[in-house]
């Protein structure tokens, strides 16, 4: 494979960022990384990346800078906070934010960076930890063509589907649409599994049958399997889907979209977070549904929780 000369930086090496950054390093890109807790960088360094002592050090000399951080406030802090990187980015640098954050805030960040001659893409992803590790993510991109042309070879190391949705913020709008679809699917599937259990029918057999028909989905394939295994290790933390659905709810409200299903799903996920499952995988919503349906074992101490 051709070895691109340009240096790339990656900030935020959690569940998603670690796999994504490791793919950049493994595929021959000159990669420097930073994470708030350094221990998370170990597997990425093992894949060939260099660990920098700060975010500012990481971006020194990088032509493309990736962010994969929890929420809008984290992206703002890393870009513009007291130790923020914006002050260190050379004109012509492309910032690629793969975090799922607020689309309106994204547009504001892009404008502030543009004042320094720095381009920004919003490029949130779908595909979970497995997609990040395998390099098979779907990436929804908002921002200028020129920036995507520069970032595309790097994105291609992490994603097999890269869709340029539109201008700044459009990628985040697409991601909100994605979260609306998958969360309604998981809450519905959780209720279906609870019904099977209450009726004395094997939920694993029901899942198997549903996978062959119109109900087939990634949620049924992966998330419901995790639920039936009572494996509540994240994965995708409840706190993050709660954050995503709050973003989607605000966007739906601002755009005056009739969205009763999203309103209910948001309440269910808020209840899940309030039930002490903030840091569990969000498939634990199925466990909450079982608990509230008086299904034995539900709500009990899952081994991996």
Catalytic residues: 175
Q: Please, what is the minimum distance in Å from the beta carbon of residue 202 to ligand NAD?
A: 28
Does 99 engage in binding with ligand NAD (CB under 6 A)? yes
| Residue sitting closest to ligand NAD (CB) | 14
Span 72-91, contacts to ligand NAD by CB under 6 A: 74, 77-78
Does 236 engage in binding with ligand NAD (CB under 6 A)? yes
Residues 6+ apart with CB under 8 A from 173: 103, 142, 165, 251
Nearer to ligand NAD, 129 or 275 (CB): 129
Does 11 engage in binding with ligand NAD (CB under 6 A)? yes
Cα-Cα-Cα-Cα torsion 108, 112, 117, 118, nearest 10 degrees, comes to: -60
Angle between helices 285-292 and 170-198 (to 10 degrees): 40
The correct pick among 4, 70, 108, 153 for binding ligand NAD (CB under 6 A) is: 70
Query: CA 295 to CA 293: how far, in whole Å?
Result: 6
Does 10 engage in binding with ligand NAD (CB under 6 A)? no
Tell me how long the chain is.
Answer: 305
The correct pick among 4, 26, 40, 293 for binding ligand NAD (CB under 6 A) is: 40
Does 69 engage in binding with ligand NAD (CB under 6 A)? yes
Question: Given the rule CB under 6 A, which of 28-36, 154-162, 204-212, 292-300 is the region that contacts ligand NAD?
Answer: 28-36
Does 125 engage in binding with ligand NAD (CB under 6 A)? yes
Query: CA 259 to CA 274: how far, in whole Å?
Result: 23
Nearer to ligand NAD, 147 or 182 (CB): 182
Number of residues that bind ligand NAD (CB under 6 A): 28
Radius of gyration (C-alpha) of the chain in whole angstroms:
20
Q: By the criterion CB under 6 A, which residues form the site for ligand NAD?
A: 11-17, 34-37, 40, 55, 68-70, 74, 77-78, 99-100, 125-126, 128-129, 236, 240, 244
């Amino acid at each position: 494979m051709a070895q691109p000369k340009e240096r790339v930086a990656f900030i935020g090496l959690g569940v998603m960022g670690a796999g994504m950054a490791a793919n950049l390093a493994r595929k021959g890109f000159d990669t420097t990384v930073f994470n708030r807790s350094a221990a998370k960088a170990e597997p990425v360094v093992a894949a060939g990346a260099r660990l920098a002592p700060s975010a500012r050090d990481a971006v020194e000399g990088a032509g493309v800078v990736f962010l994969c951080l929890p929420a809008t406030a984290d992206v703002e802090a890393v870009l513009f906070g007291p130790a923020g990187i914006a002050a260190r980015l050379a004109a012509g640098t492309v910032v690629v934010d793969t975090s799922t954050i607020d689309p309106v805030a994204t547009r504001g960040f892009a404008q502030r960076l543009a004042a320094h001659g720095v381009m920004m893409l919003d490029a949130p992803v779908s595909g979970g930890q497995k997609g990040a590790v395998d390099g098979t993510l779907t990436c929804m991109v908002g921002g200028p063509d020129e920036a995507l042309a520069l970032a595309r070879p790097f994105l291609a190391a992490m994603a097999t589907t890269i869709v340029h949705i539109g201008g700044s913020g459009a990628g985040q709008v697409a991601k909100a649409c994605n979260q609306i679809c998958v969360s309604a699917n998981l809450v519905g599937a959780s209720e279906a599994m609870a019904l099977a259990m209450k009726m004395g029918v094997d939920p694993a057999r029901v899942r198997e049958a549903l996978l062959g028909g119109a109900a087939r989905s990634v949620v049924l394939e992966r998330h419901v399997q995790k639920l039936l295994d009572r494996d509540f290790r994240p994965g995708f933390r409840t706190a993050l889907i709660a954050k995503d659905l709050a973003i989607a709810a605000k966007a739906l409200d601002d755009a005056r979209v009739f969205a009763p299903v999203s309103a209910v799903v948001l309440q269910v996920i808020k209840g899940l977070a309030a039930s002490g499952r903030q840091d569990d995988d969000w498939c634990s919503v199925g466990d909450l549904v079982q608990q509230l349906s008086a299904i034995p074992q539900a709500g009990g101490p899952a081994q991996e929780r």
